[in-house]
């Protein structure tokens, strides 16, 4: 089951304080408590989700990992789909990497803190057939990169950023606050610890420039509109040696002229003749892969749904495959020849009311209520 964003589950912003998170949790836990909902199954699932979300956000370390990696157990995604990683516990090599960057139990003092680069988002359109089979797509986007003229410093050639005089390069200033003094981000350098005297011409001192990029993306079979593909490390570069951000691709599956999709199943309609419906037949129907044979049993009524097993879409985990459901509709001939008229008249003369149960039931009801 795909895990929802814990912030979304608790309805709090990413900047929410621990106290705000705790309050939001208590409010929701109260609302979905079994005593209140009378053991409603959906409320129970909701409560489980709320508990799982709080479990991550109440713990600053887990929360920081979630913020950074999109999962609380620190397992890296490698272009996989959300929901596969899960929130299981356990050690991973990434924990060590995390500890190395930030030190166990908090960040290291002194050196500027490594920060992950910004995540990027884009939309990608695919057809229903591409969504069914999976497809390789080339996507183009632009992102900020470290300026290569100043090597990401923002300072013009021959000059370099100077240590900020207000904070002596620490990025923090101490401000007296009653009996205490508190640390604040330095207003002069914005916490960077350095200022640029002569800005680089290429990036105007911003240290970054916009660069367009093209990558090839494997869209797995089974995506739907709203599916989110995460490509790790394709976001913007990190700060102070931090990792790159990620690229999130939001899928949009175009509507199809013949097929309508509902989850993993697809639906379509096929017209058949009166005689095909009465005698039974095998007809060819379009499928996502091409064509398939659909057997119509003798005595099929108009509007019957017939199922082509396995001709729908796979689910994203690849465990199951949906079906194609064909609604057959009897089409009365719009014009008939003289010979056909004779045959149909003969058919009508020979018809036995017993073999038209719907008509018999209708007549019976009409008799009763008239
Ligand atoms: Zn530059
Ligand atoms: Zn400063």
Which domains are seen in the chain, by residue range? 1-89 (1.10.287.110), 260-332 (2.60.260.20), 343-370 (no CATH)
- Write down the H helix ranges in the chain: 6-10, 18-31, 34-37, 41-57, 60-69, 93-102, 128-133, 274-279, 338-350, 357-369
Ligand index nearest the alpha carbon of residue 192: 2
pTM: 0.58
Q: Which ligand is nearest to the CA of 198?
A: 1
pLDDT of residue 112: 65
Nearest bound ligand to the CA of residue 173? 2
> Could you tell me which of 114, 136, 140 has the C-alpha nearest to residue 126?
136
Centre of ligand 2 from the C-alpha of residue 173, in Å: 7
> Distance between CA 22 and CA 16 in Å, rounded?
10
Q: Are 252 and 124 in contact (CB under 8 A)?
A: yes
Question: How many whole angstroms from 145 Cα to the centroid of ligand 1?
Answer: 10
Provide the token pair at 333. 């001939």
Centre of ligand 2 from the C-alpha of residue 111, in Å: 13
Q: Is there a contact between 316 and 81 (Cβ–Cβ < 8 Å)?
A: yes
Tell me how far the alpha carbon of residue 271 lies from the centroid of ligand 1, in angstroms.
Answer: 66
SS3 content of the chain, % helix, strand, coil (to 5): 25, 30, 45
Cα 164 to middle of ligand 1, angstroms: 19
What's the CA-to-centroid distance between 201 and ligand 2, angstroms? 23
Q: Which ligand sits closest to the CA of 152?
A: 1
Distance (Å) from CA 175 to ligand 2 centroid: 13
- Which run of H or of E encompasses 248? strand 247-253
C-alpha 163 to ligand 2 mean position (Å): 8
Per-residue pLDDT of the chain (370 residues; tens, 9 = 90+): 456 888 989 999 888 888 889 889 888 888 887 777 777 888 888 888 888 888 888 888 888 877 776 766 544 433 444 433 333 333 333 443 433 344 333 333 455 678 899 999 999 999 999 999 999 999 999 999 999 998 888 888 888 888 898 988 888 888 887 777 888 889 988 888 888 888 999 999 888 999 999 999 999 999 999 999 999 999 999 987 889 999 999 999 999 999 999 999 999 999 999 999 999 999 999 999 999 999 999 999 999 999 999 999 998 877 889 999 999 999 999 999 999 999 999 999 999 988 999 998 999 999 988 7
pLDDT at site 109: 45
Q: Where are the beta strands (DSSP E) in 254-322?
A: 260-262, 265-273, 281-286, 291-296, 304-308
Alpha carbon distance 270, 303 (integer Å): 10
3-state secondary structure of 240: coil
User: Which ligand has an atom closest to residue 171 CA?
Assistant: 2
Alpha carbon of 268 to ligand 2 centroid (Å): 66
- For tokens 């990683």, name the residue: 85
User: How remote is the CA of residue 227 from the centroid of ligand 1, in Å?
Assistant: 37
């Amino acid at each position: 089951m795909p895990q929802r964003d814990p912030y979304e589950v608790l309805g709090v912003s990413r900047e929410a304080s621990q106290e705000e998170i705790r309050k939001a949790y208590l409010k929701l836990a109260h609302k979905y408590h079994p005593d209140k909902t009378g053991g409603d199954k959906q409320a129970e699932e909701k409560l489980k989700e709320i508990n799982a979300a709080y479990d991550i956000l109440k713990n600053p370390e887990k929360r920081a990992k979630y913020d950074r990696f999109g999962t609380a157990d620190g397992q890296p995604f490698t272009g996989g789909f959300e929901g596969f990683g899960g929130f299981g516990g356990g050690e991973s090599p990434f924990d060590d990497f995390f500890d190395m960057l930030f030190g166990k139990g908090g960040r290291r003092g002194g050196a500027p803190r490594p920060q992950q680069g910004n995540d990027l988002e884009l939309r990608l359109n695919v057809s229903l057939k591409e969504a069914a089979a999976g497809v390789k797509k080339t996507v183009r986007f632009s992102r900020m990169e470290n300026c290569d003229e100043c090597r990401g410093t923002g300072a013009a050639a021959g000059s370099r950023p100077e240590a900020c005089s207000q904070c002596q390069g620490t990025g923090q200033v101490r401000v007296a606050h009653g009996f205490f003094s508190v640390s604040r981000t330095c207003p002069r350098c914005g916490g960077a610890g350095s200022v640029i005297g002569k800005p680089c011409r290429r990036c105007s001192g911003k240290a970054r420039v916009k660069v367009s990029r093209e990558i090839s993306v494997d869209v797995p079979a089974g995506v739907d509109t709203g599916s989110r593909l995460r490509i790790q490390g394709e976001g913007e570069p990190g700060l102070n040696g931090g990792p790159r951000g990620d690229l999130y691709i939001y899928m949009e599956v175009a509507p199809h002229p013949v097929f309508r999709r509902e989850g993993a199943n697809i639906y379509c309609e096929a017209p058949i003749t009166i005689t095909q419906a009465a005698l039974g037949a095998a007809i060819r129907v379009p499928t996502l892969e091409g064509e398939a044979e659909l057997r119509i049993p003798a005595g099929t009524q108009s509007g019957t749904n017939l199922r082509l097993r396995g001709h729908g879409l796979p689910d994203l985990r690849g465990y199951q495959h949906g079906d194609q459901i064909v609604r057959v509709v009897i089409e009365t001939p719009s014009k008939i020849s003289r010979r056909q008229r004779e045959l149909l008249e003969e058919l009508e003369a020979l018809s036995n009311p017993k073999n038209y149960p719907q008509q018999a039931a209708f007549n019976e009801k009409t008799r009763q209520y008239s």
